[in-house]
Structure 1
Amino acid sequence: MCADTGTAIPTVQIDNDRVRVTEWRFAKRGDNTGWHRHAFDYIVVPLFDGVLEIDLGNGERVTAPMQNGVPYFRELGVEHDVINGNDFECAFVEVELLEPKPG
């Protein structure tokens, strides 16, 4: 993922030819990843119960409910800025699938 500078803290935990695993930690409400476009399919595993606010551009912002440990999948090409919508610190683990889709 290529990101503009945001205030959330990314910590790469695994980075090899097949996957990149990054923990994103948001210390307070309003912390964000920065605007970015995903170059790979990815999976997100929330480490909290709460919400993330997703800025989709053009003034559109949606609220996405998160449940601790319940993953979701998105395909490459997604563009957004992810923002902590909670009054507490939160984090998620992002797994980028660096290998192309089979077939």
Structure 2
Amino acid sequence: MATTHGETQLDNEHFRVIKWTIEPGGVIDMHTHEYEYVVVPLVTASMHVVQADGQELVAQLVEGVSYTRPAGSRHRVENRGATDTIVFVEVEKKPGA
């Protein structure tokens, strides 16, 4: 069975940093981001993002090329690949940071 693992690396008054590992077939269930955040991919791969309204997009991750999303983003993340594990670090900026 595919696994998904989130490892909290830092959580203080300014930032929350989580390293995510999503094996082939793995999913991060539907969730809402409380804070603006940056994603730092540690691999080059494709991941599917399903928005709360059902819209889907394919995020093309490039190792070391970061991107940002606003607070309030609600979605599910899926690794639909058969062989590649998706790994990224998510950095959430807390209010006042």
The reply to whether TM is greater than 0.5 is yes
- Residues matched between the structures, number: 94
1:22-101 aligned at under 5 Å gives the runs: 22-28=18-24, 30-86=25-81, 87-100=83-96
Q: In the TM superposition, what whole-angstrom CA distance separates every residue of 1:1-30 from its partner, at most 9, and x where no partner exists?
A: xxxxxx5210000111000100010122x2
Determine whether 1:10 maps to 2:16: no
- Runs of 5+ in structure 1 lacking a partner? 1-6
Deviation at 1:45, TM superposition (A): 0.4
Structure 1 segments of 4+ aligned residues over 6 angstroms from their partners: none
Question: Structure 1-normalised TM-score?
Answer: 0.84
Identity %: 32
- What is the DSSP-based 3-state SS (H/G/I as helix, E as strand, rest coil) of the residue aligned with 2:84? coil
Q: Which amino acid aligns with 2:36?
A: D
- What is the DSSP-based 3-state SS (H/G/I as helix, E as strand, rest coil) of the residue aligned with 1:35? strand
RMSD across aligned C-alpha pairs, in angstroms?
A: 1.4
- What is the DSSP-based 3-state SS (H/G/I as helix, E as strand, rest coil) of the residue aligned with 1:33? strand
